[in-house]
Structure 1
Amino acid sequence: MGKRVPARRRRRLYARALPLGLGLTALLVGGVAALAGRPESGPTPGAAAPGEEKPRSAAARTPPPSPAGSAGPSPGTPSRIPIPPDGPGTFTTARSAGSPVGSGGTLRRYKVQVERGIDLSGREAAVEIETILAHPRGWTSEGRHSFQLVGSGPSDFEVKIATPGTVDRICGAAGLRTRGEVNCTVGRTVVVNLKRWVLGSDQFDGPVTEYRALIINHEVGHRIGRGHVTCGGAGKPAPAMMQQIKGLRGCHANAWPYAEDGTYITGPAVP
C-alpha cells in the first residue's frame, strides 16, 4: 500500500473544502446522456409516484455551523440512525430547491428522494447533496457541467436514498448485484444505499460526511458519462470514479474528482 494521508490532516482538508454546517442555497458556490446501470458506483422502472415533503422557510433551512474540523454528521443525519433491511419501495421527494451551481455546460436538474419509513430528513439530505455538487473540486470544476436541485417539476435525474433491500431490487432489475451493500446508477436514477450513507466504508478513513461526497461524486459521475477507473499509482489519491469500497490498491482514500490545483484525478480504465 502507498503512503496514506493521516486522518487528522484529511479532516482538516475536508473541513476547509466542505464546511459541515450546511447553509442556504443562495450561499452555495456557482450560479445526461445516461450510462448503462453500474454497481457501486435515475426513475426506477415501475416505481411508485413519489410523495412530497412540505416546503420550509429559508431561515428554517439554515443549520448552525459546525466547529472547524468536526468529523460529525450534518444536522438531521445522525451517525447511527436505524438502517432497516428493507422498505416499501416508495419515496418522498424533498421540497428543497436551489439556484444552478456551476458556470457552464449542460444544466442538469435533479431531485432528492428518501424511501418512506427511513428516519432521515429528505430536506437535510438534499442540502447536503446540493453542497457536494457545488463544491469547487466537484464535477463543476471543469466548466462543462452544472446542476440545480429542484423539488418539483421536470428533472434530469433523481437521487434516491433507500434501504438495502430496495436498492437490491432497483439495481437488480437492471442486472446489477448490490448484495445489500453498495450503491448503483440505473438509467436516470442514482440509488444510494442507506447503509453506506450512514456507516461509510472501512476502506475510507475520513469522516462519514466525506464518504457521502464520494458516493454522490461517483454515482453522478456515471450520470455524466464517466466510467470506472482504478488507482493511478501508489501514494496517489484514489479517483472518485474508482470503486474504493473494494480496496484502494495503493492509493489513499479521496472523495473528489479534481485536485486542489484543478487536475482531474484518474487512473487506468476498468473494463
Structure 2
Amino acid sequence: MMVASGAAVAYYQDQRGAATDGTAAVTGDMLEGNIRATGAAPAPRPSDSPEPSPSPSAPSASPSASAPASSAPAGIPATGPGTFTTARADGTVVGTGGHVRRYMVLVEDGIDVPASEAAAEVSAVLADRRGWTRDGVNAFRLVGSAPYDFVVKIATPGTTDRICGAAGLLTRGEVNCSVGKDVVVNLKRWVLGSPQFDGPIGEYRALIVNHEVGHRIGHGHEGCPGPGRPAPAMMQQIKGLQGCVANAWPYERDGSYLGGPAVP
C-alpha cells in the first residue's frame, strides 16, 4: 500500500482535566502509551494500554512514566505547533469482516516521524492476522480524507496534553488518550515505549494500536488470565503484568483469543 504525506491540518484545544501515565481517554482509561478513539466525548475516565476500563464510545487515558509535562527526553520536543500532516492514502480493505472501519493517520508537524511511515506501521498492525480482523467481524481501511471512523494522531507531549486536556484529561506529558474520533498517541510513548513492556518498540506500538482500536470496536479492559500466560491486549499492562507475560496482540497465530477476565 502506498502512502504519501499530505497537507497539514490545524488542530487546537485547551488543556484541562486529569489522567496518568501512558494514554488517556475521555472515558477515563489509563493506557500504557496507547490511546483509544471513540465517538462523542463522555465524562472523563482513566485507562491504560492497557488502560483502565473505558466504554467503547468514551475517550480514555493511560499511564506511563512519571516525568513532569515540562520535561522531554533528548530528541523528543516537549511541544509542537499543534498542526498535523495527514498521510495520504487510499488503502485496500484488510480483513474479511463486514464492518469496514475507515481511519486516517496524522503526525504533528515538526517532529521526526514521517506521516507515510507512521501510517504504514499502523496499517501493518491492523492488517496482521493476530489483530482485530481475526474476529471475522471487523475490517479496516486506511484513507487520506473524510469520511472516516477514527483518526490516529501522533503528537508531542505538550500537544497531547492540550488535546486531551480539552476533554478534561490530565495527561502530564506522559500518556496517550482517546477523545471523540481522535486516538492521540504521545510521541514520547511512540519513541520510547514503556518500561513495563519487555519487547521491541515495534511490538509496543502494536500494543498501543491494538488496545485503543479494541476500545473503539467495543472491548473493555481485561485482567491477567493466569501466571505465565500472555497478557491480553486489552489489559492495562503499564500497571503491572500480575504474573502474565507482555503481549501486544489480541489473538494467537492459530486464531485463539488471548483474553482475560473483565476488569470493571
Scaled by the length of structure 2, the TM-score of the pair is: 0.73
Higher RCO (CA-CA < 8 Å; seq separation 6+): 2
| Structure 1 segment 199-210 matched on structure 2, within 5 A | 199-210=192-203
Determine the structure 2 residue equivalent to 1:16: none
Alignment check: 8 A CA contact 1:171 1:177 kept: yes
Alignment check: 8 A CA contact 1:240 1:257 kept: yes
CA–CA distance in structure 1, aligned partners of residues 30 and 83 of structure 2 = 21
* Residues paired across the two proteins, number: 207
AA in 1 matched with 2:231: A
CA–CA distance in structure 2, aligned partners of residues 261 and 176 of structure 1 = 38
**SS of match in other structure, 1:95:** strand
Which of 205, 208, 216 aligns to 2:209? It is 216
**SS of match in other structure, 2:133:** coil
Alignment check: 8 A CA contact 2:2 2:89 kept: no
Higher share of residues assigned strand: 2
Alignment check: 8 A CA contact 2:89 2:144 kept: yes
Determine the structure 2 residue equivalent to 1:153: 146
Which of 237, 253, 256 aligns to 1:260? It is 253
Matched, 1:241 2:234: yes
AA in 1 matched with 2:142: L
Matched, 1:135 2:122: no
Alignment check: 8 A CA contact 1:35 1:223 kept: no
CA–CA distance in structure 1, aligned partners of residues 90 and 166 of structure 2 = 30
Matched, 1:171 2:164: yes
Q: How much has 1:154 moved relative to structure 2?
A: 1.3
Alignment check: 8 A CA contact 1:89 1:166 kept: yes
CA–CA distance in structure 2, aligned partners of residues 189 and 146 of structure 1 = 19
Alignment check: 8 A CA contact 2:26 2:168 kept: no
CA–CA distance in structure 2, aligned partners of residues 202 and 251 of structure 1 = 15
Matched, 1:180 2:165: no
Q: How much has 1:37 moved relative to structure 2?
A: 5.5
CA–CA distance in structure 2, aligned partners of residues 202 and 39 of structure 1 = 15
Determine the structure 2 residue equivalent to 1:38: 29
Alignment check: 8 A CA contact 1:39 1:176 kept: no
AA in 2 matched with 1:266: G
CA–CA distance in structure 1, aligned partners of residues 74 and 124 of structure 2 = 22
Matched, 1:125 2:123: no
Q: How much has 1:178 moved relative to structure 2?
A: 2.2
Alignment check: 8 A CA contact 1:37 1:187 kept: no
Q: Cα–Cα, structure 1 residues 260 and 43, in superposed 2: closer, same or farther, change >3 Å?
A: closer
Deviates more, 1:176-185 or 1:217-226: 176-185
Alignment check: 8 A CA contact 2:26 2:169 kept: no
**SS of match in other structure, 1:269:** coil
Q: Cα–Cα, structure 1 residues 269 and 175, in superposed 2: closer, same or farther, change >3 Å?
A: farther
**SS of match in other structure, 1:86:** coil
Q: Cα–Cα, structure 1 residues 81 and 132, in superposed 2: closer, same or farther, change >3 Å?
A: farther
Q: How much has 1:130 moved relative to structure 2?
A: 0.5
CA–CA distance in structure 1, aligned partners of residues 219 and 74 of structure 2 = 32
**SS of match in other structure, 2:125:** helix
Determine the structure 2 residue equivalent to 1:191: 184
AA in 2 matched with 1:184: C
CA–CA distance in structure 1, aligned partners of residues 234 and 78 of structure 2 = 27
CA–CA distance in structure 2, aligned partners of residues 35 and 140 of structure 1 = 25
Q: How much has 1:206 moved relative to structure 2?
A: 1.1
| 1:207-266 alpha-carbon deviations (Å, 9 max, x no partner) | 101111001001111111111112111111011011112211110100000112212112
Which of 80, 90, 97 aligns to 2:90? It is 97
AA in 2 matched with 1:94: A
Percent identity, aligned pairs only? Answer: 66
